[in-house]
Amino acid sequence: MAKLAKIRFGMIGGGEGAFIGAVHRHAAALDGQYELVCGAFSRDATNNQSTGDAMGIDDSRLYSSWQQLLQVEASLPADQRMEMLVIVTPNQLHVPISRAAITAGFHVFCEKPAGISLNETQALAADLTNTDRLYGLAHTYLGYPMVWQARQLVQSGELGTLRKIFVEYPQGWLTEDLEAASNKQASWRTDPSQAGNSGCMADIGTHAFGLAEFISQQQITEICAELKSHVSGRRLDDDGAALFRTNGGASGVLIASQICAGEENALKIRLYGDKGGLEWQQMEPNTIILRPHGAPVKVLRAGRGQPGLGIEALRRCRLPAGHPEGYLEAMANLYSDFAVAIRRGERGTPTGVPGIAAGLRGMAFIDTISSSGQSEAKWLQIPNTSQA
């Protein structure tokens, strides 16, 4: 077997003190398929330098801006320049950097949401139709093996016709006014100029929305929502809930909140059909509880070689049953699938990785739930983002 060269990648954002940048670097390194070769990690020169030093980046590949990174990397010989760019900046830079990177000839893996408006994300989608570059979106939870197993159970008819979906994502970290205390992570997420027109729903509501559509394989078409900011002076929503309807006839409830004191990252989904229901929780990610109608409850467990799992779940398991795999491994699964897609010469959206379609759906969700939260009319239709 021919030896595979590591895929060279660069990173914009993710300097010291930024949680998600380290997650991406650890996940990319997990399967030994990537090499971090360059970066523009922070606008703060000291932070940028110290992050580059810690990552072993040569000073000649440590850049002061994302524009400089793209310009210089594009000028390097093909066997030296980065092949893929990872974007872990605040939301307002996602689309501008993605579009510039694709134009410069680089694959892109971007943090969610795709941008700060549906219009700008549609412009990015148009760019992708005219390129052979790949674009992926870091919906980390869609990398969990048992999320794929839940999807397979729905697809196989194990639950019957879907009737009800409950999905929730409560956190408690914004219970206090952290932005007033100059907490960097809180400050940009509650700033409309950096986060867009939504706070909580853009940050974690999109995860709940994407998870519900991915597992159910139905699109949420209508929303009736209430959004609220509980902390005095906070400019964007920190809490919200919505009733929804799907194109498959199911009804549901979506809750996302960052002011649920004491909660951590309690993403949870329950789906019910006329033959049974299932439950999956992110904080216990290796387990699915299956509740057949009129029969005993079943518990399915993740693990390599575990009986009862489908092929997509099994290929995302690294360890035998009983050895927990978690958040980093889920993100690493997205990186692994992206690497396979690059080596196969795929274009557009990498197989197994959320791409521009997921990005458009997420932005349509944010726009619609924000409008519903501000409207007395309440039931609003989510725009159709299908690409011709």
pLDDT of residue 365 exceeding 80, the answer is: yes
pLDDT grade for 309, boundaries at 50, 70 and 90: very high
Average pLDDT, the chain: 96
Band of pLDDT at residue 376, cut at 50, 70 and 90: confident
- Label the pairing between strands 239-246 and 251-257: antiparallel
pLDDT in tens, 215-245: 999 999 999 999 999 999 999 999 999 999 9
Backbone angles phi, psi at 24, to 5 degrees: -60, -45
Give exposure, 207-239, as e/b (b: 16+ Cβ within 10 Å): bbbbbbbbbbebbbebbbbebebebeebebbbb
Residue 1, pLDDT score: 61
Q: Is the pLDDT of residue 313 over 80?
A: yes
